[in-house]
Chain A
Amino acid sequence: GQNIDQPTEMTATEGAIVQINCTYQTSGFNGLFWYQQHAGEAPTFLSYNVLDGLEEKGRFSSFLSRSKGYSYLLLKELQMKDSASYLCAVRDRGNTPLVFGKGTRLSVIA
């Protein structure tokens, strides 16, 4: 089976750094995606990792360790607009559909 775990909720302070973790157990692995979803809106793509290491994109970075079945999304210089749900999704092989975790709701407070 497939299992993707991420924390349900996190709270962080404006201007700080927050790390959202995702662990997965899948039969295979062909990429991990992070999406951002503001309340009442569609998910939007943030990052993609298929090889081990860190991918940086502005204030957002994503890290992958395939041997540990682990990824994290790092958000720096937090802003109030970063309050949203963050979804981790894994493709286990080929072009099979993404399997999503339940999402982490991040609240940024002043």
Chain B
Amino acid sequence: DVKVTQSSRYLVKRTGEKVFLECVQDMDHENMFWYRQDPGLGLRLIYFSYDVKMKEKGDIPEGYSVSREKKERFSLILESASTNQTSMYLCASQTGSAGELFFGEGSRLTVL
């Protein structure tokens, strides 16, 4: 069975803290993505990666960075968390041939 695992289902952090959200996939997929999902706004793309050490900005990259040191792992970093980054964060992976996305269970982040 395909599996995308996100490190934390629920996190509570304080404003200004550094936050790491980790995502691991076991399908040997080339492509990985980070989205955030907010009520009324849908899924919005933060960053994506089509290869190890490669990253591309999505539609809303401000305040975020990413790291992809290994093919199976794609990390999202909030250098200094702010309250407007309170959201559900979804990681997804995809084969290089542009098939469907496989999503992780999501990480619900609350920034106080």
Contact = CB atoms under 8 A, between A and B. Distances in A.
Interface of A: 30-31, 33, 35, 41-45, 48, 87, 89, 91, 94-95, 97-103
A102 B42 contact: yes
A100 B42 contact: yes
A43 B105 CA distance: 8
Contact of A87 (B31, B42, B104): B42
Interface of B: 4, 31, 33, 35, 40-45, 48, 50, 58, 90, 96-98, 100-106
B104 to A, nearest CB: 6
A42 B106 CA distance: 6
B12 to A, nearest CB: 17
User: Is chain A's interface secondary structure helix, strand, loop, or mixed overall?
Assistant: loop
Contact of B40 (A45, A48, A95, A102): A102
B58 A97 contact: yes
Contacts of B42: 87, 100-103
A97 B33 CA distance: 8
A76 B61 CA distance: 39
Given A95-B97, A100-B35, 10 more contacts: A31-B98, A42-B103, A44-B103, A87-B43, A89-B43, A95-B96, A97-B33, A100-B44, A102-B42, A103-B42
A87 B43 CA distance: 9
19 contacts: A42-B4, A42-B104, A42-B106, A43-B90, A43-B101, A43-B103, A45-B102, A48-B100, A87-B42, A89-B43, A94-B98, A95-B50, A95-B97, A97-B48, A97-B58, A100-B42, A101-B42, A102-B41, A102-B42
